Amino acid sequence: MTQQQIQQCIDACLESMNACNVSYISSLKEYDLAMLRDCIRLSRECAEICGFAAQAMTRGSDFIAEICDLCVKACEACAAECEKHRHDHCQACAEACRKCAEACRMMAVVVA
Amino acid sequence: MTQQQIQQCIDACLESMNACNVSYISSLKEYDLAMLRDCIRLSRECAEICGFAAQAMTRGSDFIAEICDLCVKACEACAAECEKHRHDHCQACAEACRKCAEACRMMAVVVA
Amino acid sequence: MTQQQIQQCIDACLESMNACNVSYISSLKEYDLAMLRDCIRLSRECAEICGFAAQAMTRGSDFIAEICDLCVKACEACAAECEKHRHDHCQACAEACRKCAEACRMMAVVVA
Amino acid sequence: MTQQQIQQCIDACLESMNACNVSYISSLKEYDLAMLRDCIRLSRECAEICGFAAQAMTRGSDFIAEICDLCVKACEACAAECEKHRHDHCQACAEACRKCAEACRMMAVVVA
């Protein structure tokens, strides 16, 4: 695992955290709010987990494999929900989550 | 500042964090969801800040005065919004936030 | 899973977070600092993970099983290291971590 | 406040969080550990606050002014301590903290 690979995974987590929070805030302003209950909850939850994962990697946590595994699950669940909605912020969130899940899956394998 | 006073402030922050998150989750299930947009956003935000304050106090942060000041502002804003809504979880959230604001206000004065 | 069982697990996480942070701060003041490098790092890391787990449970995260599994691993690693040191704060930290690991292990099984 | 200005402040916080955590981990491995007690504690604390600030900005917190004010104080205290030490990671940390303090100071003024 090179420092560059770790940095790419951190960046993917931060991108996903940002996209999730943007989608969370944007969804709360939408007209079809009632359709977005799960999307709101999952994107906010996923943002927390992605942010936690990024921080854990920068502080050289001993539990990066487990935290990245958790991040894969959160990102996949969030992406699956966000993909159901046509809003641009939902689609952007799903895309960032998919990329983050991929980066974290690789990280979890390499450091395990 | 005795250890007991610090512990009381930590407990007030954790109570408020819990009540805010309960209200957040409960609000997302309500029928009158559109009325609760600000309430959802503020209770989730306040939960984060209360949790951060509690953690900062347990780790003996040098910035407890500033963090408690921040917590006072978040709790007062959240309480003011939650008090507008008749739901039990909103009222319980407002009450926990008011208590937390009072505890953090005292803490910020004492440690400053 | 009753609300009372969840609350017991949250409380165990918060107790552990507190004991870990107390041990972290206390270890940084000890004379035999060089012996405590791993202890400092692990207790601080474990505090973060316990705090994250407690917050995740209060916000009804969909990923409680995974987060509690992570918390079990962090608590066991921290307890194993802290038990090596004679300081009271290290012993208290190890004990709180063991209790938290037990509570989180049960939680992870029940919610999975 | 343009989205670009907010992103620059988020990036400065994330850079500082990273440099602080790198310095924290590196300091714990140094020979002159006893000289670095305050440096270890402050860099870890500052990393938490910078990470919290970055996350708060991405989720459009109502309390960005207060959180950025807090971040200025943490970064200045951390930089002042790190500058006392000759290690490259301490110097890099101090530099990232100074940049972050500057970005957060501007942000706090603009959004207040």
In order, the DSSP letters of A43-78 are HHHHHHHHHHHHHHHHTT-TTHHHHHHHHHHHHHHH
| CB-closest option in A18, A58, A60 to D58 | A18
What's the first-to-final CA gap in chain C, in angstroms? Answer: 11
Residues of B with CB under 8 A from a CB of C: 10, 14, 17-18, 21-22, 24-25, 44, 47, 51, 54-55, 58-60
B67-110 pLDDT per residue, tens = 999 999 999 999 999 999 999 999 999 999 999 999 999 999 98
Percent of chain B having pLDDT more than 70?
A: 100
Q: How far apart are CA C53 and CA B102, in angstroms?
A: 26
| Segments of chain D scoring below 50 in pLDDT | none
ipTM reported for the complex, 2 dp = 0.94
Residue C1 has pLDDT above 80, yes or no: no
Return the residue of B nearest to D53 by Cα: B49
- Write down the pLDDT at residue A1: 72
- Write down the pLDDT at residue B55: 97
- Write down the pLDDT at residue C3: 85
Which residues in chain B have Cβ-Cβ distances shorter than 8 Å to A40? 28, 40
| DSSP notation for D49-92 | HHHHHHHHHHTT-TTHHHHHHHHHHHHHHHHHHHTT---HHHHH
CB-CB neighbours of D3 under 10 Å: 7
- Write down the pLDDT at residue C65: 97
DSSP 8-state secondary structure symbol assigned to residue C30: -
D33-60 pLDDT per residue, tens = 999 999 999 999 999 999 999 999 999 9
**Total structural domains in chain C?**
1
Q: Judge whether D52 and B52 are in contact, CB under 8 Å.
A: yes
Are B14 and C18 an interchain contact pair (Cβ–Cβ within 8 Å)? no
C50-99 pLDDT per residue, tens = 999 999 999 999 999 999 999 999 999 999 999 999 999 999 999 999 99
CB-CB neighbours of D59 under 10 Å: 23
Residue B3 has pLDDT above 90, yes or no: no
Domain of B63, CATH number, reads: 1.20.1270.360
Are B28 and A34 an interchain contact pair (Cβ–Cβ within 8 Å)? no
Q: Judge whether D75 and D100 are in contact, CB under 8 Å.
A: yes
For A100, the domain range is: 3-111
Mean pLDDT of all residues belonging to chain B = 96
Nearest CA distance, C105 vs chain D (angstrom): 27
Preferred mutation among D55, D59, D63, D97 to probe B, highest tally of B CBs within 10 A: D63
| CB-closest option in A25, A29, A40 to B28 | A40
Burial class (CB in 10 A: 0-12, 13-18, 19+), C110: middle
